[in-house]
Amino acid sequence: MDSHIGSSFIRCDSSRGTAELVVQNATYGPGGHGASIGYTIIDSELARILIAATASGVCWLGIHHSDAYLEAELRRDYPRAEIRPDNNALEYAARHFVAYLAKSSSELRLPVDIRATPFQYAVWRELCAIAPGTTRAYADIARRIGHPGAARAVGHANGANPLAIVIPCHRAVGSNGGLTGYRWGIEYKQRLLEHERTSAQTSLPLPTIAS
């Protein structure tokens, strides 16, 4: 897979403080029906990272210390897909993502192939609008997307986020500021926030989100 930006994509430019998420229809059905998904697992300074993609774009990204756990979670999310290791096809995406995470690259450009309900898409776009290293309560996110009182539903949308880190669900917290409800474990939620806070990039303005 190359760096071509198709109809669905995520694009981050930390040098300008911008992030853009655009999601159109996925190329597969519920549970990954009809999808052929390749994946690779790579090292990063924070943990092991699994990147998975169809021929059209990245469809899943997870972070954990256990390769077996990452593989099991991928298969749990896509029970109806054909899934196989594919290190060669994902070399560019993996290398580019790790460089961005390590801040040795200021730009991340990835085509994506993900499914989203209108509510999930609204939540994920709002997550992208949270400044790196800062947090926002689920209830506040719900109000901002026009669904006051839907904090629990926002939490569910966070849990359904298929692209850990790049769609930054680690920046969502409980009403008391507690680091709760992170699929990959509170330890990694804390690590990601601390990584962002200590980065020189945290002084950038809020991202802008595509309509």
- Catalytic residues, by residue number, are 169
Going by C-alpha positions, the residue among 5, 10, 133, 137 that lies closest to residue 61 is 10
Spatial distance between the Cα atoms of 120 and 71, rounded to a whole number of angstroms: 24
Checking phi first, is residue 34 left (phi over 0); if not, alpha (psi -120 to 50) or beta?
Answer: left
Spatial distance between the Cα atoms of 144 and 123, rounded to a whole number of angstroms: 9
